[in-house]
Amino acid sequence: MRRVRGWTAAIRARAHGDQGDTSLQMAIVFPVVILMTVAVVQASMWYYARNIALTAAREGINVGRGYQSSPSQGAARARETLDRIGGDSLHGAGVSTDGSTADTVTITVSGTALSMLPFVPGLHVSQSASAAREHWTTP
């Protein structure tokens, strides 16, 4: 019984000596947790904007590579897709057909992903798709 009393007295003494220790630990750890959370959300927003740009470029390629289609028709389809699914996730989005030749069509979609912090600029996103043009050939 004396051992139990001595043990509980030691726990009480230790507990009274650590007053405010938890608050100090939280003051150190909490900003790190918040920063990590913001970083994960920011990375997710960049990834989502990247997927939007790639989807628009692929949609444009599907139209632009068709028989008797032009790269400008593919670019118009990419802009249409951006308007439909891009919303506010990809700011300043632009569509380019630079790099297209007589045999291939290349569509590049670029823009800026949203930023979680108002004083930090968004991350640049650029995705391109390229495919061979369809031609009529005789066997």
pTM of the model: 0.75
* Beta carbons of 59 and 81 less than 8 angstroms apart: yes
* Beta carbons of 136 and 69 less than 8 angstroms apart: no
DSSP 68: T
Tally of CA atoms within 13 A in the half-sphere of 127 that contains its CB: 23
- What digits encode the pLDDT tens for the residues 40-81? 998 999 999 999 999 999 999 999 888 888 888 999 999 999
- What digits encode the pLDDT tens for the residues 6-19? 667 666 666 665 56
* Beta carbons of 113 and 122 less than 8 angstroms apart: yes
Query: What 3-state class would DSSP assign to 96?
Result: strand
Burial of 31 (0-12, 13-18, 19+ CB in 10 A): exposed
